[in-house]
Structure formats: structure tokens, C-alpha cells
Structure 1
Amino acid sequence: MHQPPLPLTQDLVLIGGGHTHALVLRKWAMKPLPGARLTLINPGPTAPYSGMLPGFVAGHYTRDQLDIDLVRLAQAANARLILGSVTGIDPDSGTIQIDTHPPVGFDVVAVDVGITSDMPALPGFTDHAVPAKPLGPFAAKWDSFRKGTGPATVAIIGGGVAGAELAMAMAHALKLRKRPATIHLIDNATALSALPAKSATQLRAAIKALNIVLHENVQITHLGKHTISLDDGSSITAQFITGAAGARPYPWMAQTGLTTHDGFLTVNDRLQTSDPRIFAVGDCAHMAHAPRPKAGVYAVRQAPVLFHNLASSLSGGPLKTYVPQKDYLKLISLGKKSALGDRFGVTFTGPWVWDWKDRIDRKFMNQFDQLPKMPTPPLPYPRAKGVQQAMGPKPLCGGCGAKLGRDALSKSLATLKPTQRADITPLPGDDAALLNTGGARQVFTTDHLRSFWPDPAVMARIAAHHALGDIWAMGANPQAATLSITLPRLSETLAERTLTEVLTSAQTILQDAGADIVGGHSTFGDDLSIGLAVTGLLDREAITLGGAQDGAALILTKPIGTGVIMAALMSGKARGADVAGALDAMQQGQKTAAQILRDVAQAMTDLTGFGLAGHTQNICIASGLAATLTPDTIPLLSGALDLSERGEHSSLYANNRAGFSNIPDTRHTRLLFDPQTGGGLLAAVPADQAKTLIEKLHQNGHPDSAIIGHLHKGPTAQVSIA
């Protein structure tokens, strides 16, 4: 007898994508705890590896080599990834506050958010300098600066090992780009004082050899734009100012009510805070039982103990203790491909030390490139004829990539009898129904999405925007919505948490659009799915698919590519940053765009499952015209073109492609058949007004809007490319 999936009963939340949590996720992928729901919260889709930061700054590594792709890692661990910054933990209510998301409940939580080198107490630092930590924003801003031209001046505040590494790496990077550079390394005491004398001496020699100007025992009074003022009245000029001095905890941790030490979460030898449900690791934790300096080696070695203790806390097992080593190998980059090593007072240097460090760092990162995969179970035998063919060559996509193909849908709809009520205006093939009720004209539509991203709040926002697209496309104002929600098997507590996230997120989107939730239905099933039935009121004639005129320009308000990116996510071939970009696009509302277009649009639709070519053809059919699209002008999501070139596509692609034999097969044209979820508006507008409309759209939050082709006389329904 088939064993149904186990219900999820406990929420484990990992706050931060630091080194420890990255390793825990990898271990979880290989040995998950049945019945536990795993969530990772991180500000972005990637987490930079601190060990390779100096090499990145120097130009030895690319940004992709520096970053751990948390999207792929979370997918391998079957974890939901919430992209946002935690702003607080409330132990009393068992919830976590996030800046981009409704509060998330937890049963067990671990914190691994690292530190910041921001210096808010130093006047002008926040406005004029870039903290070296967190690493992600720093890496992005340095990458932009070093690609500039002309002479460069840089200042690093903090003369410890981290500051010295950055100074040498920056000097090397600017030399590679043939930019004359002056690098200042500034400390309010003696630089490199934490190192043994021999290592400090050799490091000073390396700094001097790179002509880095070392300022010791100086006091900074304030920072201005490109200026560091000192207490002796002198100043240092620098175009790029960063801070690598000390380690500061994130302020919210001290507001949790948990025991802290100088703002860092205090943990015991089992890595628990003063609340046994809450663990902390890495630089954000203070090990009261064995204080140690902030170093990545401790975070890495905490991972096996944390993984065991989290699983044991969720299942009721015994916990292990963590005993940190007394000393550790220090490998310090010297700018070029050379490094200095120090352990137990022994110092060694040279290119071979860099090679050793490089092998260690690449081995660590390779773990996250080669993630474990669950094998696909074989099909049962014997089985009914046609099962393998019906399953297709790839997994069924979610979102609009999972909807029925055009032929099956059209043939099924053709079996319906004509509408029998006088208060319904038939609009064959259009986005929504038009109802006439008591003199009011009402638009009515429904849309339903199966989850393709494991965060219920994000899926609720996407589903709401997706359903509203039909209302906006017809020129109506959203009025009311009912929701149909299917949850996977969950305990009562987890079901309440999940439903609250869905309803809160959907309500925010709907109320912003002017509509209210008025009812709905919920049930349990195999997967999360969210459907909305939405009504809208018309204060003008409805904009339909028909009505477009010969010569009309076609405007698209959002980039395309969600189908190919989410399909590649399922196969593990999409970059996390591209997935995040696609999710952002799907959560962008079309209220403003609709208000700009609806007074002039001759025909309009929202872009969904049939892809750009299919929806363009629908306008052509209803308006009795042909269309010519210009692929080079069509806005694309980052990563979509590359994935298309590599042969990635949604499971609905073949259905969408059928019937367009006059369009050649290229990496650009394949995206014309990419099914979209929460896509933009496609509007036919008078050609002489198109440029003005684009300018308005760009000025009002739709910077990717573009004129992508035009309609003209010709064989009805023919879509060609220029």
C-alpha cells in the first residue's frame, strides 16, 4: 500500500546563510529529518565566502566563484528560502520578524548572520564609506569601483589582518588594471598587533613593497565625501573608503531579551543561547564556555555539532558539545598570488602558501557546486500504456508552465454551450467575463497557481498579482476576491502559520490594488496551491482583445523569461541571482501601468501561459490583423537568454511553439513561446503615442517597458519577426 507523505509538524528556521548554515543545509540535503520543515532566511540569494574575499578583491576570483548559491543549496535541502533581513526574534510568541515578509513562526531556530564593520559612531562613515562586512554589498561596490578608469585613491580604516589583506588586494587589483593608485591603511593604534612579531614584520614588509601608506596611532574625527579628517588637523583624500576595524553585532540581537556579551548572542557548549530553542554560531555568537576571536574556522567546525543538535532538538534526542580548538592555521593573502601562513608561532610565506590556501578554499566551495541529489524512483512495472509518454521528457513545471496546452484547452471549451443569461456579455477568448449587474459593469476572473517556490508568502503575492492581471488588462478597478488554498499535510500549528502567511501576503497586494478578500476555501492536498477569483468594476468600456487597429504599436510592460528560469531552477541549472530576479518580476504589480495604458489602449491582455507569441496571436485573431515582433527590443530577465541558448525550456514550451512554423528557431525566438507567470501587460496602442507612453511607464516604476512590434494588415493571426 502506498505510504502517504508524512505531515510536517516542526518548524526549523536558519537565520543567515553563513558558513555554518551552508554546511548544515548540505548535511540536511543528505539526511533530512522527516516531519521537519526547514526555512532559510537571508538578505540575498547568495552568500559570499570570506576566505576568498581577498582573492576576489585582487581579481583572482570571479563573483560567482566567491558566492555560495543559496537558491540551489536550499533547493537541494528541500528548504524554503526567504529573501529578506531579519529585524527581530520574539521568543515569547515564537516568531521571527523580517523586513520583506510576514512574521515566521519557529519551534527551533539558529542564527548565523555574521557581523558588520559599519561604524555608525564615526561621523560621516554611514554616508561616505563602505563597510567591509557584510561581504555581499562590499564586494558589489568594490567590483564597480575597480572597473573605473584613471588614478585611484583608496583608504581602509582598520590596520588588523583583515584591513591589511584588503589593502594589498586592492593595490594588486588596481595595478592589474593599469590604474595609478594610492592606498592608505589607517589604524588608531599599532597595526597588526594581534599577530606574532615575526608574522607582523613580514606582513609589514609586504605592505611596504606595494607602496601602501600606513598610518598608525592616528585618530579620525569625521568623514566627508572623499575625505578622512584626522585630529591633528590633517586629512586623507580617498575616492573609495572602507572600514575593516573590529566586529560589531547587528543591533536587533540585543533586543531579543536573550543573554548577550557586547551585543553578541551568548551560547553554551551546545551552541544554545539562554533560550534552549535558539542556537547561534559563527561570528554573531559569543562562546561563553571558551571565548575565541572571530574566525571562519570556528564557524566551519561548528557545523557538524549544530546539525546534530538541531535535529535532536526537533526530535527529542540528546545534544552534543562543541569544543573549539585552541589555535588555528592563519593563511593571509598578500595581494598577488602569494600568501603568509602562521600557526603556533611558525611563519612561512611564498607562492606555495597561496596555492595551499587556494586548494583549501576551492575544496570548501566545491561542496556547494556538487550538491547531493535524490535519485528519481523508477516507474512501476507493469504500468498502463502511454504513462511514460504522458509524463514527458522533464518534470511538470509550476506556475503557468503547468497549465493545459492551447489545443486541449480550446477543444474542451468548444464543448460548452453558449451563455444563457442576458446579464453576461460573451467575450470569447478574452481574459475575463463581463457581467452587467444592476446597471454596474463588473469584470470577473479566476486564476490558480501550483507552488513552484517553497515560500507560501511569495506564492501568495505572485498568485494575487497574476489574478489581478486579467482585471487590469480589461481596464477595470479591482473590487473583491475569494481565495482557494490547498496546503500540504501539516500539523495544526504549521497549518495556522502557513495560512496566516498566505492570507496576510495576499491581502496586502489586493488592498493596495483597491480590492478586499471576502471569502474562500481551504483544504489539504499534496502540494501548496493558491487560487483567486477576482471581480473588478468598470467605469469605461472594457478593453478586450479585439479593437486593435492597423499600424498599432505593441507595448510590453515587463521582461519575459519566468518560464525558462523556473524550469531551470527545477533542474538545478539556474543561477540563484537570476531566480531572485524572476521572483521580483513576478511580484511587481501592474496597477500603475494599467492606469497609464487604459485610456489609450485599443486592445490589451496580460502575459501568462501562452507566451508572448501566443498572446500576440490572440489579439490578432480578435482584431483580424497580423503582427510583427522585433526580438531585439523585447525586454528579457537576466539569465533567460543564456538558459534558452543552452536548451532549457518549460514543459509547456512545445505546446506554445506549435503553429508558428514561420518563426525561425533561435535563442531569442524561443523565448517568444516561454510561458509567463505574473507577466506584464501587452497593449496595442496608437503608434504616434507609443514613445510618450513608454516615457511615462519608465518614470512610474516600469523601467523595462518597451515597444516590441506592431500590428498590420495581413493573414489574420500570423505572427512574424522583423
Structure 2
Amino acid sequence: MSALRGGGRPHIVLIGAGHAHLYLMRHRHRLADADITIVDPGAFWYSGMAAGMLGGAHDPAEIRSDPRRLARQYGLDSVRGRLVGLDRAGRQAQLADGRTLGYDLISLSLGSCAPTPSAASHGPGVWAVKPIAQLVALRHYLSNAFERGERPALVVVGGGASGVELACNLRSLATRHAAQIAITLVSRSRKLIPTAPSGARRWLEGYLRRIGVEVRVGMRAVSQHRDGLLIAEEGATMGQDALRLLECGHVIHASGLAPPDTLGGLGLTFIDGRGLALHDTLQSVDDPDVFAAGDCAALVAHALPRLGVYGVRQAPVLLANLEARLHGRPLQRYRPQAQALTILDLGHGQGLAIRGRLWWAGRSSLLWKRWLDDRFMADYRQ
């Protein structure tokens, strides 16, 4: 059955400029029978190069793309805005500024956010791994502080891949400015990157010691304090004696990503902590004309980690299924890969690649990562 409900050309609305929608823009010719509008809140920042940018290995412009420029290049309409609601009966997307956009098909690629506690009055600066524009601002702030001779202690919260990358690249940034500062990585888990092979974890622990990053495992962040961050041992009975103060000038939170709050207010089935509930055709379980991909999407049959590679691999399926829905053809099913390659940028020219139980570390890993990243961004940079 075709998605077109009336006369004229069907209208596809793309909400957000995530990996999958960038791919759709480049392949706009496959949807030549429809008008397409992309709605985005600003620039696309490539998360795969964000840590390296923080450490000074990349200029911010290298990891940024302008969706409006791409829209002009590939023949889409573009609207700067933010989705706040859906009128599915009337086929209207509602934007924060009061505008509405009619649609026949709609797709969401909104990425994820990093929940962050509020800063204490007169306390340390509080930053998050997302939105990535915050990391750009943090780099500029710290670079200027280092040039003024300031040496603020830094705490990174989160012992997963993102937290490890940020801690290492903060050290790399400080090294570029010949700034000797204290950097502490706080992990709620007793193992850094718990899903990594044990050999990779041992190598990583040794590397962190060599570059001077202190690691506190089995500790959780409790609250901000005017002098730093209050932490407590994971599982300990709470009380004043359980709290410890890590004095610092800035706290960077990378302890987990969450779907955007917008999704919970769309009137569609939402899986708490994961995102919009989808069939493996990338369609909403509630509405076959609502699609999604990437970090904001939650496949009912598969709980996927928040890695950009899944949004990239979903993109061709999303494109094929939008085309199929337009023309009343059968849809494809997205089948996630059993294992995904992850390569961490650890600063100082070092990388750590992990795929399943295989791992390898050193300069060759980082060179491979940069080749993959540059190949991805070549089509999207300004």
C-alpha cells in the first residue's frame, strides 16, 4: 500500500541530521517521486571524532557538517527547528516555534543526549559528552585557561569507552599546552569498559597509568559540591561518612547516553532508556508511516549499544523502506551485525581497537580509525 493519502506529490519529513539522514540526503535521487524536508536544530557533529577534537588532533571544522548546505546540494528543503509533537491523525509535525509541517512519511534520527546533574552555585564547571558542541566549548575554555597559566584539576565521570576517550584526550590537550594537571576518571563499574576483553582492559589500565590519569573504579558520582565532586563507593550505605570529595575545577560527565526527551511526548510507544520502539523494518510499532534510526531508535527484538556504526548500517535499509513504502512494495528487515568494531582514540597518537574478543592497540589502530573517519566525513564536511 502506498503512503500517499491524497493527490499531488508525497512529502517526506526527516527530523534530525543523524548519520542515517545524512545518507538519505546523499541518495535523495532514490526518492525522486517525493518532496523531502529536513528539520534540524543546527550543525551535525560527528561523534566518532569528538574525543580527538577535544585533545587537539582535529579542528572543530573537521568534525562538523552543515545540513542546510547539504540540503541545497542534494535538492531537499531545510527547516531550522526542533520537533515537539506529532499529530498523526492530521499528519502534522509540530515544531517548537509553533510551525507545523504536513507529511506522508516521517523519519526520526535525533541521536542521543547525556543526562547531566546541575552545577552547584560557585562550584566546578559541569560539562557533558553530548551535545558535542559542549566539548568544543570545553576545549576552547581549557586552552585559554592553560595559556593563562591556570591548572584546574579535572574529573571525568564514566568508565565506558566515551569516558576513557575523554580522560585520555584531556591529558593530550594539556600536554599540547605543557600544562601539568590532575585528571581523575571515576567508574561506577569495577572494570573499565566491562565488555572489553580482559587483555585490552589490562593494557588500557597500564596506558592510563603511563599518561598520568588516576582511575577510581567502583565509585559513583553523588552530587556536585562547591569544591568539586562528591563520590561514594558503589553499593555502600549512604551517609555522610560514605561521601568522599574529589576537589576539581571541572567535571565532565560521560556515564551514559539517553534518548532525547522529545521522544517521550510524541504519543508513540517508547522504551524507557532506549528510545522509540521499532519493528525490524525501522517502523514505529504504532504507525507504519513513522520511521526512526540511530541512537533514538529502539528495536524491540534487539537492544543495541549506542554506537554510530548501527545508524550507519541502518541507513540503507531506511532508504530502501521509505522508497518501498512510497510505492507499496515489501519492506526490508534490518538485521544488526553480531559484532561491531570499536576504535578508541586515546590521544598521544594511540588507539585501541576492539571487535568481540579481538583487540589491538597502538598507533596502527588510531591510523585505521582516522582513515575510516575521514572516509565517512569526506562526503559531508563543509
TM-score normalised by length of structure 2 = 0.88
Q: Displacement of 1:132 after TM fit? A: 0.8
Check whether the contact 2:124–2:228 (CA below 8 A) recurs between aligned residues. no
> SS of the counterpart of 2:219?
coil
For residues 186-335 of structure 1, what are the structure 2 equivalents within 5 Å?
186-190=186-190, 191-225=192-226, 227-231=228-232, 232-263=242-273, 264-274=275-285, 275-335=287-347
Check whether the contact 2:124–2:249 (CA below 8 A) recurs between aligned residues. no
> SS of the counterpart of 2:379?
helix
What do residues 40-82 of structure 1 show as CA deviations (whole Å, max 9, x unaligned)? 11111x2111111111111111111011221221112222222
Q: Displacement of 1:344 after TM fit? A: 3.1
Which of the numbers 43, 48, 69 marks the counterpart of 2:45?
A: 48
Contiguous gaps of at least 5 residues in structure 2: 1-6, 233-241
Check whether the contact 2:84–2:266 (CA below 8 A) recurs between aligned residues. no
> SS of the counterpart of 2:38?
strand
Structure 1 residue runs of 4+, over 4 Å off?
Answer: 122-128
Give the RMSD, CA atoms, in angstroms: 2.2
Check whether the contact 2:113–2:258 (CA below 8 A) recurs between aligned residues. yes
The match for 2:170 is 170
What do residues 284-328 of structure 1 show as CA deviations (whole Å, max 9, x unaligned)? 111112322111111101111111111222333321111110001
Which of the numbers 51, 55, 58 marks the counterpart of 1:58?
A: 55
Q: Displacement of 1:124 after TM fit? A: 5.0
Q: Distance in 2 between matches of 1:224 and 1:9?
A: 57
Check whether the contact 1:337–1:354 (CA below 8 A) recurs between aligned residues. yes
Per the alignment, do residues 276 and 204 of structure 1 end up closer, same or farther by CA in structure 2, a change over 3 Å counting? same
> SS of the counterpart of 1:163?
helix
Check whether the contact 2:124–2:250 (CA below 8 A) recurs between aligned residues. no
Aligned partner letter, 2:39: I
Per the alignment, do residues 243 and 25 of structure 1 end up closer, same or farther by CA in structure 2, a change over 3 Å counting? same
Aligned partner letter, 2:280: D
Q: Distance in 2 between matches of 1:90 and 1:138?
A: 35
> SS of the counterpart of 2:93?
strand
Q: Displacement of 1:8 after TM fit? A: 5.6
> SS of the counterpart of 1:294?
coil
| 2:102 paired with 1:75 | no
The match for 2:236 is none
Per the alignment, do residues 283 and 226 of structure 1 end up closer, same or farther by CA in structure 2, a change over 3 Å counting? farther
Q: Distance in 2 between matches of 1:297 and 1:72?
A: 24
The match for 1:85 is 82
Aligned partner letter, 1:229: L
What do residues 266-287 of structure 1 show as CA deviations (whole Å, max 9, x unaligned)? 1111101121111111011111
Q: Distance in 1 between matches of 2:205 and 2:347?
A: 13
For residues 435-584 of structure 1, what are the structure 2 equivalents within 5 Å?
none
Q: Distance in 1 between matches of 2:263 and 2:159?
A: 27
Q: Distance in 1 between matches of 2:125 and 2:350?
A: 32
What do residues 587-638 of structure 1 show as CA deviations (whole Å, max 9, x unaligned)? xxxxxxxxxxxxxxxxxxxxxxxxxxxxxxxxxxxxxxxxxxxxxxxxxxxx
The match for 1:139 is 136
What do residues 11-63 of structure 1 show as CA deviations (whole Å, max 9, x unaligned)? 211111111111111111x43422x221111111x211111111111111111
Q: Distance in 2 between matches of 1:70 and 1:133?
A: 18
TM-score normalised by length of structure 1 = 0.48
The match for 1:553 is none
Q: Distance in 2 between matches of 1:92 and 1:227?
A: 50
Per the alignment, do residues 58 and 79 of structure 1 end up closer, same or farther by CA in structure 2, a change over 3 Å counting? same
Aligned partner letter, 1:23: Y
Higher gyration radius (CA): 1
> SS of the counterpart of 1:247?
coil
Per the alignment, do residues 106 and 224 of structure 1 end up closer, same or farther by CA in structure 2, a change over 3 Å counting? farther
Q: Could you say which structure has the greater relative contact order, defined with CA pairs below 8 angstroms and 6 or more residues apart? A: 2
Check whether the contact 1:226–1:238 (CA below 8 A) recurs between aligned residues. yes
What do residues 501-541 of structure 1 show as CA deviations (whole Å, max 9, x unaligned)? xxxxxxxxxxxxxxxxxxxxxxxxxxxxxxxxxxxxxxxxx
